[in-house]
Amino acid sequence: MAIDYQELIPNNVDLAGNRTLQRALEQWQPHFLDWWRELGPSDFQTADVYLRTATSVDAKGWATYGTLKMPDYRWGIFLADAVPDRRIGFGDEFGKPVWQQVPGEHRSTLRRLIVTQGDTEPASVEQQRLLGHTCPSLYDLRNLFQVNVEEGRHLWAMVYLLHAYFGRDGREEAEELLARHSGDRDKPRILGTFNEPISDWLSFYMFTYFTDRDGKFQLKSLAESAFDPLSRSCLFMLTEEAHHMFVGETGIARVVKRTLEVMKELGTEDPAALRHAGAIDLPTVQRYLNFWFSSSLDLFGAEVSSNAASYFATGIKGRPDEANFEDHICREGAFALEEPDGKGGTTTESVPLRNAMNEITRNAYIRDCDIGVKRWNRLIAKAGYSIELALPSPHFRRGIGAWARQPVDPAGRILASEEWQAKLPGWIPSEEDRAYIKSLMRHVIEPGRMAAWIAPPDRGINNLPVNYEYVHLN
């Protein structure tokens, strides 16, 4: 059946005028919908959800609100407005015109990066598919679904690039994006974190705070790309990504706020007493934070990476906010990198700057992560408590790069292996923690009501009241 693309798939890439692309997407779209029904949010496909849909890239159209059923969401394809005469902003090709087509010599590298980016989007939807059953409120349920449909749209954004610029192998990769599944033994998602289950809402908030923020920094790096369609796709995705991190930051803030209320009511900081009253004690919040922060740090790749050096040299992938750096060529500079010396201490290696691009991006990410932690700590201090949440050392519990499998504690000290093994369960969520958090997860679906472990949000969505019926369950 012919699809009216202007009607069904809002876009600014002239889909209607490109028959080849249209045919490719016509074949892929039913597979996407099958995947959405099978592995998207389970059992909520007939619910009416208050969602924002991008119908254009301008201020008026990028956030159009309305109530709809998720399978009817209009997954659009948008590129940010073109910058006239845009030039390559870094690397050996600095100052030359950006590419409107994929240069032959960079084809496989670009395809690999687009596939890696694309793979994370459906992965996150799969990871979160059961969460709807235990939502702490209708407001949160709606936010979960908003995040899910937009991750679906980000998959479309990458599939568009694969179909439009990579011919048959691009189409094959687009199919594979629906064939790999989060946590699947035989066909897992590409990057580690996207195979971790997200079975409770504390993990969901941590994921949207820490892992979506990796998305922010990777998208910023790809937005610098000399391959202009990739750059423009990622720039627009960043607009939507901000809400996902907001869900994480405010979600954790609301958990902390509620815990502080219960601490005040009971006059105690004792985790057992707080748990008895149904709140999430702050040491548990810290353990979840340790888990998701360390897992997300791995997503930046190894500290020293010849891949990253070559992405930078060729103009394929830059640093986030490249314009803020003075030197865009980086042929000369060096980066001082702290590494384990293999004898229980550390040593500082001087690494050619281009090889340290992953670490430079990771450091920018860490600074950004710290902003939320400071905000949560202000809430705690304002309530009169001296406890502080903290990001663990970036060397703690790493699985990729120089610090992989090193016995480092959250404070950054290198321990003896046995001591580290013995202490690890105290630093990340234990089975008992997970069971407790799971026991709190109930389906709260009365408009305006919140689960007892989380405070209400300060305001609703799009100026609507908090008690608006954001999801109508049919």
Q: Least Å distance between CB 369 and ligand BYC?
A: 14
Which residue number, 91 or 466, has a Cβ lying nearer to ligand BYC? 91
Residue whose C-beta lies closest to ligand BYC: 301
Which residue number, 307 or 377, has a Cβ lying nearer to ligand BYC? 307
In angstroms, how far is the first alpha carbon of the chain from the final one? 29
Query: What is the maximum span of the chain, computed from C-alpha positions, in angstroms?
Result: 68
Task: Establish how many alpha carbons lie within 13 A of residue 109's alpha carbon, considering only the half-sphere containing its beta carbon.
Answer: 21
Q: Least Å distance between CB 381 and ligand BYC?
A: 30
Q: Least Å distance between CB 32 and ligand BYC?
A: 16
Specify whether the CB–CB gap between 10 and 157 falls below 8 A: no
Which residue number, 206 or 389, has a Cβ lying nearer to ligand BYC? 206
Q: Least Å distance between CB 107 and ligand BYC?
A: 15
Which residue number, 55 or 221, has a Cβ lying nearer to ligand BYC? 221
Which residue number, 258 or 317, has a Cβ lying nearer to ligand BYC? 317
Cα separations in angstroms, 240 against 62, 149, 245, 351: 9, 11, 10, 35
By three-state DSSP, how is residue 97 classified? strand
**Residue 31 corresponds to which tokens in the numbers above?**
């597979």
Which residue number, 253 or 308, has a Cβ lying nearer to ligand BYC? 308
Q: Least Å distance between CB 405 and ligand BYC?
A: 14
Q: Least Å distance between CB 357 and ligand BYC?
A: 8
Which residue number, 143 or 305, has a Cβ lying nearer to ligand BYC? 305
| Sole residue written with tokens 């996902």 | 244
Specify whether the CB–CB gap between 305 and 357 falls below 8 A: yes
Q: Least Å distance between CB 241 and ligand BYC?
A: 8
**Residue 325 corresponds to which tokens in the numbers above?**
């750096």
Cα separations in angstroms, 116 against 239, 261, 368, 373, 378: 20, 42, 23, 29, 37
**Virtual CA dihedral for 40, 118, 24, 101, nearest 10 degrees?**
160
By three-state DSSP, how is residue 223 classified? helix
**Residue 182 corresponds to which tokens in the numbers above?**
């989060």
DSSP, residue by residue, 232-297: HHHHHHHHHHHHHHHHHHHHHHHHHHHHHHHHHHHT---HHHHHHTT---HHHHHHHHHHHHHHHH
Q: Least Å distance between CB 361 and ligand BYC?
A: 8
- Return residues touching ligand BYC (CB under 6 A): 113, 116-117, 120-121, 124, 151, 191-192, 211-212, 214-215, 218, 298-302, 305, 307-308, 317, 358, 400
Q: Least Å distance between CB 382 and ligand BYC?
A: 31
Q: Which amino acid would we find at residue 393?
A: S
Give the integer Cα–Cα distance in Å for 227 and 99. 5
Which residue number, 286 or 296, has a Cβ lying nearer to ligand BYC? 296
Specify whether the CB–CB gap between 83 and 221 falls below 8 A: no
**Residue 276 corresponds to which tokens in the numbers above?**
């008895």
Which residue number, 218 or 393, has a Cβ lying nearer to ligand BYC? 218
Q: Least Å distance between CB 461 and ligand BYC?
A: 20
Which residue number, 215 or 257, has a Cβ lying nearer to ligand BYC? 215
